[in-house]
């Protein structure tokens, strides 16, 4: 049975997590081609959109074939968030997700991201304002609570549904936990029992077995996968279809660079891609000194040339 978020049909129930600094248009395309049912931009500041920040606007670039696609926004001012939802730069996106889960200090100290877990009435106003501002489905991604041991997931989920959210994603950790400890899948199960809108479980899904276990415990409608896809977009093929694909890593990395270069400046791409490179090469690259050299290079042509020779010398493909 196909999974829908409001009127948007997903290609599968395993979806890509928004990841700042990683879920660019090329990465999303690869994840989607390998079976991700929905892909999402990294979080985009509603305030920066209000001020027409060029770098922020660039984060909204998207490839023509990307479908269905979600954009994630963050902020805590209902009017500014609503304005972002109606921004023409978001028009190509099918779904707008609201970030209520980011634990980073620079985000929570402004009242954004997961700090909205501490202000449920403001969170409700933000969601309602976004729902009123657009016909697109509004979804919300949040953590189970803010402080150590806190679990407000069920009441927060119910509030999201009442405020008009079309789906929710629950990361089974608190803000205090960051990324440590194991996700509380039982808490996600309780959320699923409490609301009618689709629920996506999030946290530590790396394999098809993990996915089966998480769906079994939570009975969620789907799973959101983040870190397991870094350096390995083909993980979606394994999780969705049970098919392990032995990709040509060098070709994959080249596709990523070349697609980025079609849309962004050389200077941006060479720096931006360094963190992706570290993931692509981790575990397979046998000479870390050479990796350090690679990351120091200041032109993509040099990087690609060096990668060619390094893969020939050291890497299994
Ligand atoms: C590098 C990085 C960047 C992230 N950026 C975002 C973001 O922009 N928005 C968001 O909601 N979550 C963000 N997250 C959290 C992920 O979406 C996800 O909730 C988290 O990684 C847990 O899922 P996983 O165990 O499958 O990775 C980020 C996580 C990482 C590791």
| Contact in structure between 99 and 19 (CB atoms under 8 Å) | no
236-253 mean pLDDT? 95
Using alpha carbons, select from 188, 184, 306 the residue that is nearest to residue 250.
306
Q: What is the pLDDT of residues 48-72, one digit of tens each?
A: 999 999 999 999 999 999 999 999 9
| Contact in structure between 199 and 170 (CB atoms under 8 Å) | yes
Q: Give percent of the chain above pLDDT 70.
A: 97
Given a cut of 60, whether residue 286 has pLDDT beyond it is: no
Tell me, in angstroms, the distance from the centre of ligand 1 to residue 179's CA: 9
Prediction pTM value: 0.97
Q: How many CB atoms lie within 10 A of CB 312?
A: 10
Tell me, in angstroms, the distance from the centre of ligand 1 to residue 116's CA: 17
Given a cut of 70, whether residue 315 has pLDDT beyond it is: no
Q: How far is CA 179 from CA 70, 101, 103, 223, in A?
A: 23, 12, 9, 17
Check 31, 40, 102, 205 and give the catalytic one: 102
Q: What is the pLDDT of residues 119-147, one digit of tens each?
A: 999 999 999 999 999 999 999 999 999 99
Given a cut of 90, whether residue 115 has pLDDT beyond it is: yes
Q: Which residues contact 316 (CB under 8 A, 6 or more apart)?
A: 284
pLDDT at 86: 98
Alpha-carbon distance of 21 to 272, in angstroms, equals 8
pLDDT at 316: 52
Give the residue whose CA is nearest to atom 6 of ligand 1: 19
Confidence band for 118, pLDDT divided at 50, 70 and 90 = very high
pLDDT at 48: 98
Q: What is the pLDDT of residues 1-27, one digit of tens each?
A: 799 999 999 999 999 999 999 999 999
> Ligand 1: which of 14, 18, 73, 99 to mutate, judged by most atoms within 8 Å of the beta carbon?
18
Q: How far apart are the first and last CA of the chain?
A: 36
Given a cut of 50, whether residue 226 has pLDDT beyond it is: yes
254-283 mean pLDDT? 94
The verdict on the CB of residue 238 being under 6 Å from ligand 1 is no
The whole-chain average pLDDT of the chain stands at 95
152-169 mean pLDDT? 98
Alpha-carbon distance of 241 to 279, in angstroms, equals 23
227's tokens: 């870190």
Alpha-carbon distance of 129 to 289, in angstroms, equals 51
Which ranges in the chain are annotated with CATH 3.20.20.70? 4-241
Given a cut of 70, whether residue 287 has pLDDT beyond it is: no
Q: Report the helix count and the strand count for the chain, using DSSP H and E.
A: 14, 10
Which homologous superfamily does the CATH classification assign to the domain defined by 4-241?
Aldolase class I (3.20.20.70)
Alpha-carbon distance of 223 to 226, in angstroms, equals 10
Decide which of 227 and 295 is more confident: 227
* Phi, psi (rounded to 5 degrees) for 26: -75, -40
Q: What is the position in ligand 1's atom list of the atom closest to the CA of 227?
A: 27
| Contact in structure between 260 and 269 (CB atoms under 8 Å) | yes
Q: What is the pLDDT of residues 173-220, one digit of tens each?
A: 999 999 999 999 999 999 999 999 999 999 999 999 999 999 999 999
Active-site residue flag, 31: no
Decide which of 22 and 286 is more confident: 22
pLDDT at 311: 84
Given a cut of 50, whether residue 317 has pLDDT beyond it is: no
Confidence band for 171, pLDDT divided at 50, 70 and 90 = very high
> Ligand 1: which of 14, 17, 185 to mutate, judged by most atoms within 8 Å of the beta carbon?
17
Decide which of 294 and 75 is more confident: 75
């Amino acid at each position: 049975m196909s999974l829908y978020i409001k009127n948007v049909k997903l290609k599968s129930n395993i979806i890509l997590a928004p990841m700042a600094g990683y879920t660019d248009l090329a990465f999303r395309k690869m994840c989607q081609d390998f079976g991700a049912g929905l892909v999402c931009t990294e979080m985009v500041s509603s305030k920066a959109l209000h001020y027409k920040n060029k770098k922020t606007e660039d984060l909204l670039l998207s490839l023509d074939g990307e479908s269905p696609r979600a954009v994630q926004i963050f902020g805590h001012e209902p009017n500014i968030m609503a304005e972002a939802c109606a921004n023409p730069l978001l028009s190509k996106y099918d779904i707008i997700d609201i970030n209520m889960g980011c634990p980073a200090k620079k985000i929570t100290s402004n009242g954004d991201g997961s700090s909205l877990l501490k202000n449920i009435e403001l969170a409700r106003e933000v969601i309602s304002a976004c729902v009123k501002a657009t016909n697109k489905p509004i979804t919300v991604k949040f953590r189970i609570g803010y402080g150590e041991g806190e679990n407000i997931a069920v009441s927060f989920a119910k509030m999201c549904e009442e405020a008009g959210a079309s789906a929710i994603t629950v990361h089974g950790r608190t803000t205090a936990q960051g990324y440590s400890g194991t996700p509380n899948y039982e808490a996600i199960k309780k959320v699923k029992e409490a609301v009618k809108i689709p629920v996506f479980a999030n946290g530590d899904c790396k394999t098809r077995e993990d996915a089966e276990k998480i769906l079994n415990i939570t009975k969620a409608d789907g799973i959101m996968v983040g870190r397991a896809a870094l350096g390995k977009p083909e993980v979606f093929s394994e999780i969705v279809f049970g098919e392990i694909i032995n990709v040509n890593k060098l070709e994959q990395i080249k596709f990523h660079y070349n697609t980025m270069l079609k849309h962004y400046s050389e200077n941006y791409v060479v720096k931006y891609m360094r963190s992706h490179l570290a993931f692509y090469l981790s575990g397979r690259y046998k000479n870390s000194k050479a990796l350090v050299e690679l990351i120091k290079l200041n032109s993509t042509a040099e990087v690609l040339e060096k990668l060619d020779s390094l893969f020939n010398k050291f890497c299994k493909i």
